[in-house]
């Protein structure tokens, strides 16, 4: 087997990291560089549409050791710009595996860089925040120029690049749910499909079109980027409130808050991982959660809603529940794809909300 070509990762602030090119062959790819702390679930992370516009750094040392399988895809194709790893396993070992991660990345058109000192990179991102970067086999000057030209995610409607083009049905449960696709994950649809027949609709679907379907509930999915840049979403949600029960996750949580008059802000390096402790305010219980977001709801900005969950690492608002209308949301991922299952009860709460109706 031929040795992989040498490659560089260059950040917009001038930091340089050496490695070797893996995955799809490219001279230059650029994006906002973030890090994820999951120990397993790399395929689910890479196929999560919430990573549109971003380069994913895995902090876990060995990536790819159990291969890949189509059963773990969260979307039909990856939306991330690339992946950065310390050690890409050359030999896969798992009975579920159909292929190696390297071969799958090449087939999916996702470039990668391996052999990087991800500990140094992660420490730098922790201090400097998520920054634009570029990697590939091009020379350092070309990569630095590409990194500095990368616009990042602020003010960019990345949802438009990952939402479905037309409505489609999923699941066969007894109720009817309309799910807004801001970048919806397959695991979310599996959970919702046990409760309802789910019609997934594009992000631009109007409130009137949703209500014409006479749903028992409306689901607001996860998705990438800046919630303030998702054209028309918060206005549509505002017109649904009080007329149908609403449940939001991740970007859906931020958009629900915006529909209620709240504001959002960008975190320094975001929450990306599978072990974030979150306190449930009502009981004091601590849930270990899966998270993937760079923006958050500003505390105290949402009138008419109570904070239901709080991140114990940094105090970020992790959940809200409306006082006067049947609607609630959480910032983290209760569907756990990948991650712990501590918060799956939230799907049962959505079912209870639909039982009571608007």
> pLDDT digit string (tens) for 257-273?
999 999 999 999 999 99
Return the pLDDT at 358.
57
pLDDT value at 2 more than 80: no
Whole-angstrom CA distances from 281 to 185, 278, 290 are: 27, 9, 18
Catalytic, out of 124, 276, 293, 333:
333
Per-residue pLDDT tens digits for 98-129: 999 999 999 999 999 999 999 999 999 999 99
Catalytic, out of 250, 253, 276, 287:
250
pLDDT band at 93 (very low <50, low <70, confident <90, very high): very high
CB 102 within 8 A of CB 85: no
DSSP 8-state symbol, 5? P
Alpha carbons 299 and 314: distance in angstroms, whole number: 12
The mean pLDDT of 146-155, rounded to a whole number, is: 94
Return the pLDDT at 191.
95
DSSP 8-state symbol, 99? B
Question: Is residue 62 flagged as an active site residue?
Answer: no
Tell me what the pLDDT averaged over the chain comes to. 96
CB 357 within 8 A of CB 327: no
Question: Is residue 250 flagged as an active site residue?
Answer: yes
Per-residue pLDDT tens digits for 282-326: 999 999 999 999 999 999 999 999 999 999 999 999 999 999 999
Class of 6-149 in CATH: alpha beta
Return the pLDDT at 337.
84
Output Rg (C-alpha) for the chain, integer angstroms. Answer: 20
Whole-model pTM: value is 0.95
Looking at the chain, list the stretches that DSSP marks H as alpha helix, in order from N- to C-terminal side. Answer: 42-46, 101-108, 118-128, 140-149, 186-193, 207-211, 233-240, 251-259, 345-356
The mean pLDDT of 335-339, rounded to a whole number, is: 87
Per-residue pLDDT tens digits for 228-265: 999 899 999 999 999 999 999 999 999 999 999 999 99
Return the pLDDT at 339.
84
Q: What percent of the chain has pLDDT over 70?
A: 99
Question: Is residue 335 flagged as an active site residue?
Answer: yes
By residue count, the chain amounts to 358
Return the pLDDT at 32.
97
Domain ranges of the chain: 6-149, 159-356
Cα 38 to chain centroid distance, Å, stands at: 13
Return the pLDDT at 200.
98
SS (HEC) of 273-322? EEEEEEEECCCCCEEEEEEEEEEEECCCCCCCEEEEEEECCCCCEEEEEE
Per-residue pLDDT tens digits for 26-72: 999 999 999 999 999 999 999 999 999 999 999 999 999 999 999 99
Q: What percent of the chain has pLDDT over 90?
A: 94
Return the pLDDT at 357.
73
pLDDT value at 338 more than 80: yes
CATH number of this structure's domain 159-356, picked from the four choices 3.40.50.880, 3.40.1280.10, 3.30.365.10, 2.60.120.10:
3.40.50.880
The mean pLDDT of 146-151, rounded to a whole number, is: 96
pLDDT value at 1 more than 80: no
Per-residue pLDDT tens digits for 176-192: 999 999 999 999 999 99
């Amino acid at each position: 087997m031929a040795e992989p070509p040498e490659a560089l990762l260059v950040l917009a602030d001038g930091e340089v990291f050496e490695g070797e090119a893996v995955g799809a062959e490219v001279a230059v790819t650029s994006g906002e560089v973030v890090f994820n702390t999951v120990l397993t679930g790399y395929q689910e992370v890479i196929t999560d549409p919430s990573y549109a516009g971003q380069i994913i750094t895995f902090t876990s040392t060995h990536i790819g050791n159990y291969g890949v399988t189509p059963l773990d895809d969260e979307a039909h194709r990856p939306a991330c710009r690339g992946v950065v790893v310390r050690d890409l396993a050359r030999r896969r070992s798992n009975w579920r595996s159909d292929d190696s991660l390297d071969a799958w990345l090449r087939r999916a058109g996702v470039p990668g860089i391996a052999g990087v000192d991800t500990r140094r990179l992660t420490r730098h991102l922790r201090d400097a925040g998520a920054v634009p970067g570029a990697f590939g086999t091009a020379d350092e000057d070309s990569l630095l120029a590409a990194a500095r030209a990368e616009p990042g995610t602020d003010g960019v409607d990345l949802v438009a690049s990952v939402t479905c083009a037309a409505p489609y049905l999923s699941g066969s449960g007894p109720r009817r749910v309309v799910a807004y696709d801001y970048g919806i994950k397959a695991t979310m649809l599996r959970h919702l499909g046990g409760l309802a027949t789910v019609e997934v609709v594009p992000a631009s679907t109007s409130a009137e079109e949703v209500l014409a379907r006479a749903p028992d509930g409306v689901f607001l999915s996860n998705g990438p980027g800046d919630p303030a840049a998702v054209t028309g979403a918060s206005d549509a949600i505002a017109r649904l409130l009080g007329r149908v029960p609403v449940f939001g996750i991740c970007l859906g949580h931020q958009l629900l808050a915006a529909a209620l008059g709240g504001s959002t802000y960008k975190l320094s390096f975001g929450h990306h991982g599978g072990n974030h402790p979150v306190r449930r305010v009502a009981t004091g219980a601590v849930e270990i959660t899966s998270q993937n977001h760079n923006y958050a709801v500003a505390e105290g900005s949402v009138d008419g809603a109570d904070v239901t969950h709080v991140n114990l690492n940094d105090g970020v608002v992790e959940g809200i529940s409306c006082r006067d209308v049947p609607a609630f949301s959480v910032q983290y991922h209760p569907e756990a794809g990948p991650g712990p299952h501590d918060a799956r009860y939230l799907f049962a709460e959505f079912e209870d909300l639909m039982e009571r109706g608007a």
